Chain A
Amino acid sequence: MTHILMKKSNYTAFIPNVEKWTFSMLEYGLQKGSIDASQVEQVQIDIMKLMSDNLLRYTKGKSASVKTDVGIDLYNGVVYTIDAYFRSFNDIDDAFEKLMTFNVSSFYHEGKNYLKKKFTQLELSYKYLKSMHLGIAIDAYTDTIYPGLELFFKTYDCEYMPNITSGMIDYPLFYDPMKEIGLWYCEYYIKTLNLENDFCHHYDEHDLVLVVTLYANHYDMAPEDLINNITEILIKQSIASVSLGRAVRSLRLSHEDMLALYVLFSTHDNPESVFTDAFYKTIERLMPSEKNYFSKGFPPLLTQFRVALNSGNLSHFFTVTNATV
């Protein structure tokens, strides 16, 4: 008889709150009865003591008080750092086991070390971003990658306010839930922008620039002034191509193609299913490993398509390039 030892978890039902990771663990522990109210209060007192120490160091010992908004940021900075420590655990039982040592000072210092390590790793991701970004002159895109994110790396305050998202990020991602702040947001942003750039690199660069330029022209804008997501513009063109039975990388659409698309969608019983199929075919062919990411950004795209089709404005949704490939 074979006995299989399996670790029994008391915390399988726990879902951390991204915005208050440690506090959500404490609340869960309270509900489960594994933590009592006095222990929770002591954790809060210890956090306040850490904040107090940081406040004095922040003012270089000159002042025990600061403006309210600075104080709140310092407090949130301590909590964010402790949250970082508990986020680093792969096993939730291990995280709870550590939490119940109630060694808040240790959590804070380990959290600080973890944030510093993640910051260094993020610098490498940023290096990749700078070397592999698209050769396209859209100010929001290039200004975010260069001065915008550069500012983040120069000004990020790992010591006192790691929760503050410094830098200037203007370029929108295909999907951005904006749930994270500070280092975690920048990590999400840079890694996702790298993913999107890798996706866009599947297309011919000349065609990419052409489509984006014509998209901008359609709205009487100079291409450099666009604040739209490039990936979304290209995905729309691929959906059009796939719907017309063409190659997914083909970005060119003529006026005749636009008419054919209008006939296809407006006469079909379920145009949204055609659209959806074409979307997922696009992703499957170009970047199947990131289907999960693109799926999250799909609902608003579908809504845009539905509105455009119902109002007879598919020419606002897809971009005519005038030449048929």
Chain B
Amino acid sequence: MFSLELLSQKLALEEILESNDRSGLYGLKLTSEDALVLIEARNQALISHGRIEVGSATIGKIIEAFLDSPYIQQADYVEILDDLIETFYYMKNEMFEVLSDDELIELMVKYYNGKSGGSIELLRDRDLDKVLRHIHNKF
């Protein structure tokens, strides 16, 4: 009778479209269809990594954090956000919740805009992986 997923999606859509007020200043904008793609990407990432989230707090934070990235243009905005979302949830699980959401996003921004040079592959498989191995060694 009541679908948890359906109502979570409704909340998420509203929150993502609100971010256009700020991203528009950087020439970046998401349509409702784009927002649904990102929500679906978020949902798939949550399912595959065994996590649950209400609303789009994380998508909103990722959008905000990467607004002024020199490596993101309107043409590939949705695709890059999709990859960043997947990377975020993958790392969240792998890092045993050691880093808070904000700390992980800050790290992702730092590497993506820096050493990774706008490459998702280098971000995930080299730069963040180094941090991951350090955390695993500690535990």
Contact = CB atoms under 8 A, between A and B. Distances in A.
Given A41-B7, A48-B8, A23 B52 contact: no
Contacts of A41: 7
Nearest to A60: B100
B57 interface: yes
B97 A63 contact: yes
A247 interface: no
Nearest to B92: A65
Contacts of A59: 97
A62 B8 CA distance: 20
Contact of B58 (A45, A48, A64, A75): A64
Interface in A62-78: 62-68, 70-72, 75
Contacts of B52: 65-68, 70-72
B15 to A, nearest CB: 11
A65 B10 contact: no
Contacts of A55: 53-54
B118 interface: no
Contact of A68 (B11, B50, B92): B50
B1 A23 contact: yes
A51 interface: yes
Main secondary structure of the interface of B (DSSP, over half): helix
Interface residues of A, number: 24
A51 B97 CA distance: 19
Nearest to B53: A65
Most buried by B among A45, A48, A72: A48
Given A65-B51, A68-B51, A44 B2 contact: yes
Interface string A30-65: 000000000011001100110110010001011111
Contacts of A27: 1
A67 B51 contact: yes
Interface in B52-68: 52-55, 57-58, 61
A48 B7 contact: yes
Interface in B1-60: 1-2, 4, 7-8, 10-11, 46, 50-55, 57-58
A160 to B, nearest CB: 14
A63 B100 contact: yes
9 contacts: A40-B2, A48-B4, A52-B54, A55-B54, A63-B97, A64-B58, A65-B58, A68-B50, A71-B51
Given A40-B2, A59-B97, 7 more contacts: A45-B10, A52-B55, A62-B100, A63-B101, A64-B55, A65-B51, A71-B52
